Structure 1
Amino acid sequence: MNSRILTLVWLAGLAAAQDSSQSVVTITGTTHQLTGGDAGPTVTLPSDFEGSTFPTGTMSGMLSGSTGAPNATASGTSTPENTLTEIVGGTRTTAVSGNMTATTATTPRPSNTQPCNNYAEFCNRKYSNITEVCAHNSPFVRKNNAGANQEFGVTQQLNDGIRMLQGQAHYVNNTLYYCHTSCDLLNAGTVEDYLTDVTKWVASHPFDVITIIFGNYNYEDKDENGNPLVTSKNFAEPIENSGLKQYIYQPPKTAMTLDDWPTLGELIISGKRVITFIDYNFDTDAVPYMLWEFYNMWETPFSPTDTEFPCTLGRPAGISEEKQREMLYLANHNLNVEVSIAGLDLVIPNTVELTQTNALNGSGSLGLMANNCASEWGRPPNFLLVDYYNFGSPMNGSVFEVAARANNVTYNRKCCGTASLATVLERPSATYFGLMIAVVAALVL
């Protein structure tokens, strides 16, 4: 049995134990299906699983009934083959009378209270049936630099509720760096260093599932033999060196439909809680856990400068509407402006309109786009890609309120970060925007 699974069940038990009415964890289901990567085989619980209580002891062998978490109680139900156990709260006691007949008293068992990606409701939802906020160009955090797209670093982004990370990687001197357009404009450091921070966060948040899209800036470059210079193989080394690979889910198919994806609970219990995609030059033979984004997900128009934010197909070109309805989809909602400086054509965030772009309601708002997309496609976007997620209206972090409404849950968190861009950008102005362009000019001249 995978030790990570046992640890997760035990952690859930600790969470439940904080409430005396939910002092133990009940595990329901007769079959435990581990999915992805080297997660292991199916583990079928024994026929006498019903009512067995695991005494306090070590973590090993918990599901076999030998030892387990403190006061863990198990009850079996008839669940379909290859389904996953669900962790819920509740208690169960068994009394044996003098004539040796057993009677069982069960307290009312509440629904699961352990949040998955900040909401208990998400634990039983498929990965493909949840809307999450994506930090566009997550690594690009640099004060007074027009190449920046976020105010806070990746650890704070994840703390605030970001669950998809995206960034553009450049291959320089046999090393992958996160750079925006040019490493001379904004170099955020190596991909490996960034992923090391991500791994630390993932390791300390066992009930969260995140997604990473790797942007391959050098996808058109060729080696001396005419082969692609940079593919998903180049990303394998920083992934492995950072320690992230152990958490990456390997789907059973290279092109997953909406129905193929597991639930968040399944991913969490398997320990495989990171989904990885690459936009161009995938090689699933060499790196099977890194999916080609456009086999699995389509996007609305990329780097939009249109405040209407149409919910039409942007990438990949040419797929049918029928196919779109079977795939994940990402709404690009980061308003940009095009500038040309010193021979460089740049698309940079339109900070003048930032507050309204990330707003809950109104013309050009993220909330309006999410609603329009949901109406057009019969379901909201799976991912909402935004710049400076901590800005919005009527409150900072309104992007998370938009996602909560799309998910039909109540947003009850506070956002964002430990500092505020308001000291510089309380009301993004044309003057500040002009300053950003001047900074770019100084960097490229």
Structure 2
Amino acid sequence: MADIEYRLEQKRDLKTALPGPKSQELAARREKAVAAGVASSVPVYADELDGGIIKDADGNQLIDLGSGIAVTSVGATAPKVVEKVREAVGKFTHTCFMVTPYEGYVEVAEKIASLTPGAFDKRAALFNSGSEAVENAVKIARVHTKRNAIVVFDHAYHGRTNLTLAMTSKVMPYKQGFGPFANEVYRVPMSYPFRDPEGMTGEEAAKRALTLMEKQVGVENVAAIVIEPIQGEGGFIVPAPGFLPALSQWCKDNGAVFVADEVQAGVARTGKWFSSEYEGVEPDLVTFAKGIAGGMPLSGVVGRAELVNVVHGGGLGGTYGGNPVACAAALGAIETIEDWNLADRALEIEKIIKQELGSLAESSPIVGELRGRGAMMALEFVKPRSKEPNADAAQQIAAKCLEQGVVILTCGTFGNNVRLLPPLVIDFDLLREGLRIFAKAIEAAGA
């Protein structure tokens, strides 16, 4: 395991109550300048980040178990990312790849094609956000198949654009009031082992979804099945073994495109470069974003060359897509993940989370399940000795953790999950400290 050096002391240190005076001053300024619809889950204002530490405007140091929603996997100031960004920004900040191309874009495309599942010939296109990547995967699938229907799943989250909102399951806060949404998007049941009938296999869950799809959409109309191999905002739902392979095989058998949305679960977060690898699935298209560029805005879609290349020249792109500085950051992040073996570190993080929380997950009356892979783990909270969602407990626990200087994030269709997304470079002692504070908050909420 790599010996990681940190710029900030990896120590929780609270100098004020949270939020502190400077954060409160910034909040007052924000209220007069920032749209009310842009919400923040934590009321402290960041000043510096490094490793597993968020240092706020008041000098408080908090333990980061969120990574900016799985973005700063290599840390927010990874040396190789910073070095490559500085070098790139000193040469040029923008040319637009569609006007004057540059090597960084090509190098990222080459690298990502080598890292995604499947030994077949691939092509990639780069964009800015996960939503853009998903939209472009849909465009590619529709052109390739000459079909329109897109099949998605309960609890899915695919983005905030009009099309990806149609693909997203949860209404609040994402969809409320923003319709009408794009049509030809159809939703079927997800494999959700904690809430499915007891004993339901992945193959049986797939048959349930595919039968509904065939009857309500029609085989000949399906352009693509789009799925998160591990659902993110929906609650870190890991489908039962066999579910993903069955969907992928159905696409192969019926001329549809299988799209793995790896925006949150990809880029070493789960202990493999892409979470599809856990079941040997080789998606036709993979979307990626978040952890790929160390915090810089970059996303993309990569997949089978004969599929991607069917789109006419000029049909894919965007003014800022594959920005040269973001591409440089991505190359630095990929190098960091490889040099520091961060995929293996993600598996060590999973072991630590299970060591610190496993027995509590078994014994607490309000913990329904501890689940996930690698450094993408979550606890689902329920009403005592039931499976009824308990969003109040999740919110109470998150607030208690923040009081103690630990940043955690909630998620889930029912708002009853707490997700753990620490930076892959987090100091393990610091991680254990944060998890023990989290555990005490769970015990207090379940008492």
TM-score relative to the length of structure 2: 0.28
Larger helix proportion, structure 1 or 2? 2
Greater RCO (Cα-Cα under 8 Å, separation 6 or more): 2
Pick the structure with greater CA Rg: 1
More strand by share: 1
Length-normalised TM-score, structure 1: 0.28
